[in-house]
Amino acid sequence: MLAIALPARSSRRLSVTAVALVLPLALFGACKKEGGPPQRPTPTVSVQTATKGPLPYVVEANGQVEPNRTVAVQSLVSGQLTRIAIAEGDEVREGQVLFQIDARPFRAELERVKATLARDEATLVRARADSARFAALAKDGYVTKQQIDQTFAEVGSLAATVAAGRAQLERAQFDLENTTIRAPIGGRTGQLLYRAGSLVRATTDQLVTINELRPVLVRFPVPERDFEELRRRAGVDQRLRVRITPNGGDSTNAIDGTLTFVDNQVDRASGSVLLKATAPNQDRALWPGQFVSVALTLSVDSDAVTVPSQAVVTSGSNTFVYTMVDNVARRTPVKVGRQAGLVSKIDSGLVGGEQVIVEGQTRLTDGAKVQLRTAPRGPGGAPGDGPAGTPVKESANAVSPAANPGTSPGVKP
């Protein structure tokens, strides 16, 4: 072997370098033997209970209020408006006097027609008497047949004149009565379009509009798919319950109504069917033209299993939820029926009562250990006062419409 002698200074430098390389490796090996690989923290989750109970099938839509009846009041005769018996925004009853048109020309016309009719009736009486005399003389041959025919023709002509005069009399009386304009329906008056002294034309000039506000109608469209569900569940002839909420209000201001009209065709432009509901509107909370939210209850599923919609996980064509049993997450395949507000109806996979994970499930795998999210407790034991805590389980009843089927806003997707 060939030996190479190194200087003493170089030998010391190599020794220091070797020690520097070996020391980290030794320390790493010692750490590896003592601690092992780092452990992942246990996932923290929140749970709610899958509930079982009645779940209403509700169709929600946007609607608009319209009066039950509306009439544009016009005059049936032309003339000068001499009196206005109402003010804008008044409540009027059917038959109440609204306007008065100058009746003097119509009264004079009525008197003229009466006089003309009286004259024609007197002439007819005389002609009939003459005809009777001529008929008696004709038996003895004192008058010709031509004279008899002439008297009968004159009687017929005068009878027609009298009939026309009586028709004119009825028309004159009708025109005189219509100089007083009365309310055709009860309701609330709108803006007055003419003032006293104005000239109005018959059947042309609109004087005021009256809207009947008790009851009112609410029209709203429903998509074709919801209309098919309406036909399947309830038919189109039943008077279904409707909850009407003015825009900007809350459920405490909702008004009950009844479905009273279903259109006989689908609007192909919008793919919807027009429906109308009738509401009593005794307190006049609804106003014509107002936009409202409508909830139409079709039926109630008596034993529906529901979970918060956020608990449902979709992966491709698979739908599942995570349930928690003994602090272990179990992946449970489910079939989702429909959504109802903040909850989803489960057609299969759950029976109710399971603890369903609603927060933190996106990081889970089947069989993973989990821990409940805790609410901090303070020294006095009240939540939110200190670092210590106890598990918190949110109640599904807070979001499930099954607890109160009459007010739950479920929507078919």
Instruction: Give the chain's radius of gyration (CA, Å).
Output: 46
For residue 167, name the pLDDT band (cuts at 50, 70, 90): very high
Instruction: Give the pLDDT confidence score for residue 410 in this predicted structure.
Output: 41
The secondary structure of residue 14, as a DSSP letter, is H
Does the pLDDT of residue 177 top 80, yes or no? yes
Q: 328-359 as b/e, with b when 16 or more CB fall inside 10 Å?
A: ebbbbebebbbbbbbbbbbeebbebebbbbbe
Does the pLDDT of residue 386 top 80, yes or no? no
Instruction: Give the pLDDT confidence score for residue 388 in this predicted structure.
Output: 34
Does the pLDDT of residue 250 top 90, yes or no? no
Does the pLDDT of residue 156 top 80, yes or no? yes
For residue 1, name the pLDDT band (cuts at 50, 70, 90): very low
- Kindly state the percentage of the chain with pLDDT values over 90: 55
Count of residues making up the chain:
413
Does the pLDDT of residue 114 top 90, yes or no? yes
**Of 22-31, 212-221, 331-340, 395-404, highest mean pLDDT:** 212-221
Backbone angles phi, psi at 161, to 5 degrees: -65, -40
Does the pLDDT of residue 385 top 60, yes or no? no
Write down the residue that tokens 């069917």 correspond to: 273
- If one compares 171 and 405, the residue with the highest pLDDT of the two is 171
Q: Which domains does the chain have, with CATH numbers?
A: 47-56+302-403 (2.40.420.20), 59-67+212-300 (2.40.30.170), 78-100+182-211 (2.40.50.100), 103-178 (1.10.287.470)
* Rounded Cα distance, 386 and 377, in Å: 4
Structure confidence by residue, pLDDT tens digits, 293-346: 999 988 888 899 999 999 999 988 899 999 999 999 999 999 998 888 889 999
**Of 15-19, 113-117, 284-288, 406-410, highest mean pLDDT:** 113-117
**Global pTM?**
0.65
* Rounded Cα distance, 322 and 370, in Å: 11
For residue 397, name the pLDDT band (cuts at 50, 70, 90): very low
For residue 360, name the pLDDT band (cuts at 50, 70, 90): confident
Instruction: Give the pLDDT confidence score for residue 37 in this predicted structure.
Output: 59
CA of residue 73 relative to chain centroid, distance: 29
For residue 30, name the pLDDT band (cuts at 50, 70, 90): very low
Query: Taking residues 280-287, what's their average pLDDT?
Result: 91
Instruction: Give the pLDDT confidence score for residue 38 in this predicted structure.
Output: 63
Query: Taking residues 81-90, what's their average pLDDT?
Result: 95
Among the listed residues 365, 306, 312, 413, the one whose alpha carbon sits nearest the alpha carbon of residue 59: 413
For residue 195, name the pLDDT band (cuts at 50, 70, 90): very high
Does the pLDDT of residue 404 top 70, yes or no? no
Torsion of CA 75, 81, 84, 85, to 10 degrees: -70
Report the first-to-last Cα separation within the chain, whole angstroms. Answer: 89
For residue 361, name the pLDDT band (cuts at 50, 70, 90): confident
Whether residue 220 contacts residue 62, with contact meaning beta carbons closer than 8 Å, is answered with yes
- If one compares 227 and 234, the residue with the highest pLDDT of the two is 227
Write down the residue that tokens 């690989």 correspond to: 37
- Show the tokens assigned to 275: 């429906």
